[in-house]
Amino acid sequence: MTENQKGQTGVVLRVPKPNLQIVVLGLIAVITIFQTFQLVRINAKAGSSAVKTVPATNNSGSSGAESNTDTPQSMVGGC
């Protein structure tokens, strides 16, 4: 042994060469963790903000069967 090797008693960690499948799976795992973190942040931010409710418009001239108050505007009328 040389002078440098006498004082060093360490563990050698052998890491196998990564193949394409391992790299892709690791990348997918990182993206999934990142997206989960973003969703948690968005949900926390949405829960803390005050939501204003919009009062429903009352169409006094129409009957209940013809009222479009519960129907989105994009679905009213048309062929």
How long is the chain? Answer: 79
- Give the Cα separation of 75 and 26 in Å (integer): 45
From 50, 68, 51, select the one nearest 59 (Cα to Cα). 68
- In angstroms, the first-to-last Cα distance of the chain is 90
The pLDDT of 65-70, averaged and rounded, is 60
Please report the pLDDT score of residue 59 as a whole number. 59
Please report the pLDDT score of residue 62 as a whole number. 53
In tens, the pLDDT along 15-62 reads: 878 899 999 999 999 999 999 999 999 988 887 766 666 677 665 555
